[in-house]
A and B are shown apart, each in its own frame.
Chain A
Amino acid sequence: MAGIRCWTLFLFNAEIIDKQKLSQGIFRLRLKSGKDFCRAAKPGRFVMLGIDNSLFDPLLRRPFGLCRWHEEWFEVVIKNVGRGSAQLCQLEKGGSVAVHGPLGNGYPQQKTEEGEVSPLFLVAGGMGIASIASYIFSALDSNQSLTETFLFYGAASYAELILLNELTAAVALGLRIKTITDDGSCGRHGLVTQILAAELLNNSQARIFACGPEAMLKSVQKILQTGGNEGYLSLENRMACGFGVCLGCVQTVFAETGAGGVETAKVCTQGPVFPARKVIF
Chain B
Amino acid sequence: MVDLTVEIAPGLILKNPVLTASGTFGYGREYAPYFDIAKLGGIITKGLSLEPKTGNPGIRITETACGMLNAIGLENIGIEQFLSMELPLLRKLGAVVIVNIFGQEQADYAALAARLDGVEGISALEINISCPNVKAGGIQFGTDPAAAAKLVAAVRQATSLPLITKLSPNVSDIVAIAQAVVEAGSDALSLINTLMGMAIDLDRKKPILGNTTGGLSGPAIKPVALRMVYQVASAVSVPVIGIGGIVNQRDALEFLLAGATAVEIGTASFINPQSAALIVAGIENYLDRQGCKRVVDFIGSLEKNPA
Is residue B25 within 8 Å, beta carbon to beta carbon, of the partner chain? yes
Question: Is the CB–CB distance between A59 and B67 below 8 Å?
Answer: yes
Question: Is the CB–CB distance between A239 and B61 below 8 Å?
Answer: yes
Q: Which residues of A contact B278 (CB under 8 A)?
A: 1, 4
Question: Is the CB–CB distance between A4 and B61 below 8 Å?
Answer: no
Question: Is the CB–CB distance between A247 and B33 below 8 Å?
Answer: no
Main secondary structure of the interface of A (DSSP, over half): loop
Is residue B90 within 8 Å, beta carbon to beta carbon, of the partner chain? no
Is residue B267 within 8 Å, beta carbon to beta carbon, of the partner chain? yes
Q: How far is the CB of B222 from chain A (nearest CB, A)?
A: 10
Question: Is the CB–CB distance between B36 and A55 below 8 Å?
Answer: no
**Which among A6-14, A106-114, A117-125 touches the partner chain?**
A6-14
Which residue of chain B has its CB nearest to the CB of A61?
Answer: B271
Q: Which residues of A contact B60 (CB under 8 A)?
A: 238, 247-250
Is residue A57 within 8 Å, beta carbon to beta carbon, of the partner chain? yes
Q: Which residues of B contact A174 (CB under 8 A)?
A: none
Question: Is the CB–CB distance between B68 and A250 below 8 Å?
Answer: no
Q: Report the interface size class on chain A.
A: 35 or more
Question: Is the CB–CB distance between A245 and B281 below 8 Å?
Answer: no
Q: Give the number of chain B interface residues (Cβ < 8 Å).
A: 41
Question: Is the CB–CB distance between A59 and B75 below 8 Å?
Answer: no
Q: Which residues of A contact B59 (CB under 8 A)?
A: 238
Q: A3-B281, A59-B63 are in contact. Are A246 and B270 (CB under 8 A)?
A: yes
Q: Which residues of B contact A100 (CB under 8 A)?
A: 272-273
Among A84, A246, A250, the most chain B Cβ lie within 10 Å of the Cβ of: A246
Residues of A216-271 at the interface with B, using a CB-CB cut-off of 8 Å, are 238-241, 243-250, 252, 263-264
Interface string of A153-195 (1 = CB under 8 A from B): 0000000000000000000000000000000000000000000
What number of residue pairs across chains A and B have CB atoms under 8 A from each other?
Answer: 106
Bound-complex Cα distance A135 to B42 (A): 42
Residues of A55-106 at the interface with B, using a CB-CB cut-off of 8 Å, are 55-61, 83-84, 98, 100
Q: Which residues of B contact A241 (CB under 8 A)?
A: 269-271, 273
Which residue of chain A has its CB nearest to the CB of B60?
Answer: A248
Residues of B43-85 at the interface with A, using a CB-CB cut-off of 8 Å, are 54-55, 57, 59-63, 65-68, 70, 72, 75
Q: Which residues of B contact A201 (CB under 8 A)?
A: none
Question: Is the CB–CB distance between B219 and A6 below 8 Å?
Answer: no
Q: A6-B34, A247-B55, A264-B55 are in contact. Are A60 and B271 (CB under 8 A)?
A: yes
Bound-complex Cα distance A8 to B270 (A): 16
Question: Is the CB–CB distance between B63 and A84 below 8 Å?
Answer: yes
Bound-complex Cα distance A50 to B268 (A): 13
Main secondary structure of the interface of B (DSSP, over half): loop
Bound-complex Cα distance A7 to B37 (A): 12
Is residue A215 within 8 Å, beta carbon to beta carbon, of the partner chain? no
Question: Is the CB–CB distance between B26 and A240 below 8 Å?
Answer: no
Is residue B218 within 8 Å, beta carbon to beta carbon, of the partner chain? yes
Bound-complex Cα distance A245 to B36 (A): 17
Bound-complex Cα distance A141 to B34 (A): 31
Question: Is the CB–CB distance between B63 and A58 below 8 Å?
Answer: yes
State which of A4, A83, A247, A252 has its C-beta within 8 Å of the C-beta of B281. Answer: A4
Question: Is the CB–CB distance between A248 and B34 below 8 Å?
Answer: no
Residues of A1-33 at the interface with B, using a CB-CB cut-off of 8 Å, are 1-8, 11
Q: Which residues of A contact B31 (CB under 8 A)?
A: 245
Q: How far is the CB of B156 from chain A (nearest CB, A)?
A: 30
Q: A56-B218, A59-B63 are in contact. Are A8 and B33 (CB under 8 A)?
A: yes
Is residue B104 within 8 Å, beta carbon to beta carbon, of the partner chain? no
Bound-complex Cα distance A50 to B99 (A): 31
Q: Which residues of A contact B150 (CB under 8 A)?
A: none
Q: A4-B36, A239-B61 are in contact. Are A245 and B30 (CB under 8 A)?
A: yes
Starting from the known contacts A7-B35, A241-B270, 18 additional A-B residue pairs (CB-CB under 8 Å) come to A2-B281, A5-B36, A6-B34, A7-B33, A11-B274, A56-B219, A58-B63, A59-B66, A59-B267, A60-B63, A238-B59, A241-B269, A243-B30, A247-B60, A248-B61, A250-B55, A252-B57, A264-B55
Q: List 5 A-B contacts (CB under 8 A).
A: A4-B281, A57-B219, A59-B63, A100-B272, A238-B59
Nearest 6 A-B pairs (CB), nearest first? A248-B61, A241-B270, A240-B270, A245-B26, A57-B66, A248-B60
